[in-house]
Amino acid sequence: MIYIRSIAYTTLMFISFLVLAPMALLPSFIVGERHRWQIAQAWASVNLYLSKKICGLTYTISGLENMPEEKCVVFVKHSSVYEIFIMLRYFSPSSWVGKYELMYVPIFRGVFKKFKLIPVKRGQGFSETERVRNEGRERLESGNWIIIFPEGTRMEYNKSKRYGLSGSILAKETGAKVLPVSHNAGKLWKRRGLLKHPGNIDFIIGVPFETSGLTLAEINAVGKKWIDNNVVL
Protein backbone atom coordinates (compact mmCIF):
# COMPACT_ATOMS: atom_id res chain seq x y z
CA MET A 1 0.00 0.00 0.00
CA ILE A 2 2.87 2.41 0.77
CA TYR A 3 4.28 1.71 -2.68
CA ILE A 4 0.97 2.48 -4.41
CA ARG A 5 0.44 5.63 -2.35
CA SER A 6 3.98 6.79 -3.08
CA ILE A 7 3.55 6.30 -6.83
CA ALA A 8 0.21 8.11 -6.77
CA TYR A 9 1.61 11.06 -4.85
CA THR A 10 4.81 11.30 -6.92
CA THR A 11 2.72 11.37 -10.09
CA LEU A 12 0.58 14.19 -8.72
CA MET A 13 3.67 16.07 -7.55
CA PHE A 14 5.05 16.15 -11.09
CA ILE A 15 1.66 17.04 -12.54
CA SER A 16 1.32 19.95 -10.11
CA PHE A 17 4.75 21.18 -11.17
CA LEU A 18 3.96 20.91 -14.87
CA VAL A 19 0.69 22.80 -14.34
CA LEU A 20 1.98 25.62 -12.11
CA ALA A 21 5.53 26.11 -13.39
CA PRO A 22 4.46 27.48 -16.80
CA MET A 23 2.24 30.01 -15.02
CA ALA A 24 5.19 31.19 -12.93
CA LEU A 25 7.36 31.50 -16.05
CA LEU A 26 5.04 33.89 -17.86
CA PRO A 27 6.55 37.29 -18.77
CA SER A 28 6.85 39.79 -15.93
CA PHE A 29 4.27 42.15 -17.45
CA ILE A 30 1.73 39.32 -17.03
CA VAL A 31 2.94 37.75 -13.78
CA GLY A 32 4.84 40.07 -11.47
CA GLU A 33 7.39 38.91 -8.92
CA ARG A 34 4.92 38.95 -6.01
CA HIS A 35 2.46 36.77 -7.90
CA ARG A 36 5.27 34.52 -9.08
CA TRP A 37 6.16 33.76 -5.48
CA GLN A 38 2.50 33.21 -4.64
CA ILE A 39 2.43 30.53 -7.33
CA ALA A 40 5.57 28.91 -5.86
CA GLN A 41 4.03 28.92 -2.39
CA ALA A 42 0.79 27.51 -3.80
CA TRP A 43 2.79 24.63 -5.35
CA ALA A 44 4.42 23.98 -1.97
CA SER A 45 1.09 24.10 -0.13
CA VAL A 46 -0.57 21.78 -2.65
CA ASN A 47 2.20 19.23 -2.18
CA LEU A 48 2.18 19.48 1.60
CA TYR A 49 -1.56 18.79 1.45
CA LEU A 50 -1.30 15.93 -1.06
CA SER A 51 1.59 14.25 0.75
CA LYS A 52 -0.44 14.40 3.95
CA LYS A 53 -3.65 13.01 2.45
CA ILE A 54 -2.03 10.35 0.28
CA CYS A 55 1.15 9.36 2.13
CA GLY A 56 0.31 10.34 5.70
CA LEU A 57 3.20 12.82 5.91
CA THR A 58 2.73 15.64 8.38
CA TYR A 59 5.12 18.18 9.85
CA THR A 60 5.65 20.40 12.85
CA ILE A 61 7.80 23.51 12.76
CA SER A 62 9.22 25.35 15.74
CA GLY A 63 11.35 28.46 16.04
CA LEU A 64 9.42 30.66 13.64
CA GLU A 65 9.93 33.46 16.13
CA ASN A 66 13.66 33.20 15.45
CA MET A 67 13.31 34.37 11.85
CA PRO A 68 14.87 37.84 11.65
CA GLU A 69 13.14 40.70 9.86
CA GLU A 70 16.25 41.32 7.79
CA LYS A 71 16.81 38.55 5.27
CA CYS A 72 19.94 36.48 5.79
CA VAL A 73 21.79 33.33 4.74
CA VAL A 74 19.96 30.10 5.63
CA PHE A 75 21.85 26.85 6.17
CA VAL A 76 19.66 23.76 5.75
CA LYS A 77 20.39 20.09 5.05
CA HIS A 78 19.19 18.71 1.75
CA SER A 79 17.91 15.15 2.14
CA SER A 80 14.63 15.06 0.19
CA VAL A 81 12.16 17.17 -1.75
CA TYR A 82 9.99 17.73 1.32
CA GLU A 83 12.22 20.42 2.84
CA ILE A 84 11.94 22.35 -0.42
CA PHE A 85 8.19 22.64 0.14
CA ILE A 86 8.75 23.90 3.68
CA MET A 87 11.40 26.42 2.68
CA LEU A 88 9.16 27.79 -0.07
CA ARG A 89 6.24 27.94 2.34
CA TYR A 90 8.08 29.89 5.05
CA PHE A 91 11.07 31.54 3.34
CA SER A 92 9.80 33.55 0.39
CA PRO A 93 11.03 35.37 -1.56
CA SER A 94 14.30 33.48 -1.59
CA SER A 95 17.23 32.73 -3.87
CA TRP A 96 18.53 29.19 -3.79
CA VAL A 97 22.00 27.95 -4.57
CA GLY A 98 21.50 24.89 -6.78
CA LYS A 99 23.44 22.59 -9.07
CA TYR A 100 24.14 23.95 -12.53
CA GLU A 101 23.19 20.66 -14.21
CA LEU A 102 19.51 21.56 -13.76
CA MET A 103 20.05 24.42 -16.22
CA TYR A 104 20.23 21.85 -19.02
CA VAL A 105 16.52 21.08 -18.50
CA PRO A 106 14.54 23.86 -20.25
CA ILE A 107 11.80 24.22 -17.63
CA PHE A 108 14.32 24.26 -14.77
CA ARG A 109 16.44 26.79 -16.63
CA GLY A 110 13.40 29.04 -16.77
CA VAL A 111 12.75 28.53 -13.05
CA PHE A 112 16.36 29.44 -12.20
CA LYS A 113 16.14 32.67 -14.18
CA LYS A 114 12.67 33.82 -13.12
CA PHE A 115 13.23 33.06 -9.43
CA LYS A 116 16.78 34.46 -9.43
CA LEU A 117 18.32 31.21 -8.27
CA ILE A 118 22.10 30.84 -8.25
CA PRO A 119 23.39 27.89 -10.31
CA VAL A 120 26.83 26.53 -9.41
CA LYS A 121 29.05 23.97 -11.08
CA ARG A 122 30.23 21.60 -8.40
CA GLY A 123 33.97 21.07 -8.20
CA GLN A 124 34.83 24.38 -9.91
CA GLY A 125 36.20 25.96 -6.73
CA PHE A 126 37.00 29.67 -6.72
CA SER A 127 34.98 30.72 -9.78
CA GLU A 128 31.74 29.28 -8.40
CA THR A 129 32.41 30.69 -4.93
CA GLU A 130 32.72 34.08 -6.62
CA ARG A 131 29.39 33.52 -8.36
CA VAL A 132 27.63 32.80 -5.07
CA ARG A 133 29.30 35.77 -3.43
CA ASN A 134 28.46 38.28 -6.17
CA GLU A 135 24.97 37.09 -7.03
CA GLY A 136 24.14 36.34 -3.42
CA ARG A 137 25.04 39.86 -2.36
CA GLU A 138 22.73 41.25 -5.02
CA ARG A 139 19.87 38.97 -3.93
CA LEU A 140 20.29 39.88 -0.26
CA GLU A 141 20.22 43.57 -1.12
CA SER A 142 16.99 43.05 -3.05
CA GLY A 143 15.35 41.46 0.02
CA ASN A 144 15.65 37.73 -0.66
CA TRP A 145 16.60 34.98 1.71
CA ILE A 146 19.62 33.01 0.50
CA ILE A 147 18.98 29.27 0.86
CA ILE A 148 22.13 27.16 0.90
CA PHE A 149 22.57 23.43 1.23
CA PRO A 150 26.08 23.72 2.68
CA GLU A 151 26.98 20.07 2.14
CA GLY A 152 26.45 20.59 -1.58
CA THR A 153 24.42 17.44 -2.18
CA ARG A 154 21.63 15.32 -0.74
CA MET A 155 22.55 13.67 2.53
CA GLU A 156 20.98 11.14 4.87
CA TYR A 157 19.11 13.05 7.55
CA ASN A 158 21.34 11.70 10.33
CA LYS A 159 24.67 12.02 8.52
CA SER A 160 26.79 14.99 7.52
CA LYS A 161 29.89 15.98 5.63
CA ARG A 162 32.20 18.94 5.41
CA TYR A 163 30.47 22.23 4.56
CA GLY A 164 31.45 24.28 1.52
CA LEU A 165 32.67 27.83 2.05
CA SER A 166 30.45 29.82 -0.31
CA GLY A 167 27.68 30.41 2.24
CA SER A 168 30.02 31.49 5.01
CA ILE A 169 31.95 33.77 2.63
CA LEU A 170 28.71 35.42 1.52
CA ALA A 171 27.51 35.92 5.09
CA LYS A 172 30.81 37.28 6.35
CA GLU A 173 31.40 39.69 3.47
CA THR A 174 27.87 41.09 3.53
CA GLY A 175 27.55 41.14 7.30
CA ALA A 176 24.46 38.95 7.03
CA LYS A 177 23.53 36.59 9.83
CA VAL A 178 23.38 32.84 9.35
CA LEU A 179 20.12 31.09 10.23
CA PRO A 180 20.45 27.31 10.76
CA VAL A 181 17.46 25.07 10.06
CA SER A 182 17.34 21.44 11.16
CA HIS A 183 14.94 18.72 10.05
CA ASN A 184 14.57 14.96 9.70
CA ALA A 185 12.62 14.81 6.43
CA GLY A 186 14.97 12.17 5.08
CA LYS A 187 13.82 9.76 7.78
CA LEU A 188 10.46 9.32 6.03
CA TRP A 189 11.24 10.58 2.53
CA LYS A 190 14.52 8.93 1.64
CA ARG A 191 17.05 10.76 -0.51
CA ARG A 192 17.03 7.79 -2.88
CA GLY A 193 14.04 5.67 -3.76
CA LEU A 194 10.36 6.21 -4.31
CA LEU A 195 8.75 5.37 -0.96
CA LYS A 196 7.30 8.06 1.29
CA HIS A 197 6.61 6.62 4.74
CA PRO A 198 3.81 8.00 6.92
CA GLY A 199 4.75 9.96 10.03
CA ASN A 200 5.63 13.40 11.30
CA ILE A 201 8.63 15.45 10.15
CA ASP A 202 10.19 17.89 12.60
CA PHE A 203 11.58 21.24 11.46
CA ILE A 204 13.45 23.46 13.89
CA ILE A 205 14.54 27.00 13.06
CA GLY A 206 17.53 28.01 15.14
CA VAL A 207 18.62 31.39 16.42
CA PRO A 208 20.48 33.41 13.77
CA PHE A 209 24.08 34.14 14.65
CA GLU A 210 26.44 36.97 13.75
CA THR A 211 29.44 36.19 11.58
CA SER A 212 31.64 39.17 12.43
CA GLY A 213 34.70 38.09 14.39
CA LEU A 214 34.40 34.49 13.15
CA THR A 215 36.59 32.80 10.59
CA LEU A 216 34.96 31.00 7.66
CA ALA A 217 35.71 27.66 9.33
CA GLU A 218 34.15 28.86 12.58
CA ILE A 219 31.00 30.04 10.81
CA ASN A 220 30.61 26.61 9.25
CA ALA A 221 31.39 24.89 12.54
CA VAL A 222 28.76 26.86 14.45
CA GLY A 223 26.07 26.20 11.83
CA LYS A 224 26.98 22.55 11.37
CA LYS A 225 27.12 21.81 15.10
CA TRP A 226 23.68 23.33 15.69
CA ILE A 227 22.08 21.51 12.76
CA ASP A 228 23.67 18.15 13.60
CA ASN A 229 22.73 18.44 17.28
CA ASN A 230 19.11 19.36 16.64
CA VAL A 231 18.04 16.60 14.26
CA VAL A 232 15.14 14.67 15.77
CA LEU A 233 16.20 11.04 15.34
Rounded to an integer, the average pLDDT of 165-185 is 95
pLDDT for residue 50 is more than 70: yes
Q: Phi, psi at residue 125, to the nearest 5°?
A: 65, -125
More confident residue, 103 or 91: 91
SS3 153: coil
pLDDT for residue 175 is more than 90: yes
What per-residue confidence (pLDDT) applies to 191?
A: 84
More confident residue, 58 or 126: 58
Q: For 58-229, CATH number?
A: 3.40.1130.10
What per-residue confidence (pLDDT) applies to 11?
A: 97
Rounded distance between C-alpha atoms, residue 230 and residue 100, angstroms: 30
pTM: 0.93
Kindly state the percentage of the chain with pLDDT values over 70.
98
Rounded to an integer, the average pLDDT of 75-97 is 95
More confident residue, 127 or 155: 155
pLDDT for residue 123 is more than 70: no
Distances (CA, A) of 178 to 3, 78, 91: 38, 17, 14
Determine if the peptide bond prior to 93 is cis (ω within 30°): yes
In the chain, DSSP finds a helix count (H) and a strand count (E) of: 7, 7
Q: Buried (b) or exposed (e) across 17-53, using 16+ Cβ within 10 A?
A: beeebeebbeeeeebeeeebbebbbbbbebbbebbee
Residue 22 sits at the vertex; the CA angle it makes with 14 and 111, to the nearest 5 degrees, is 85
Residue 124's pLDDT band, with cuts at 50, 70 and 90, is low
Rounded to an integer, the average pLDDT of 3-10 is 96
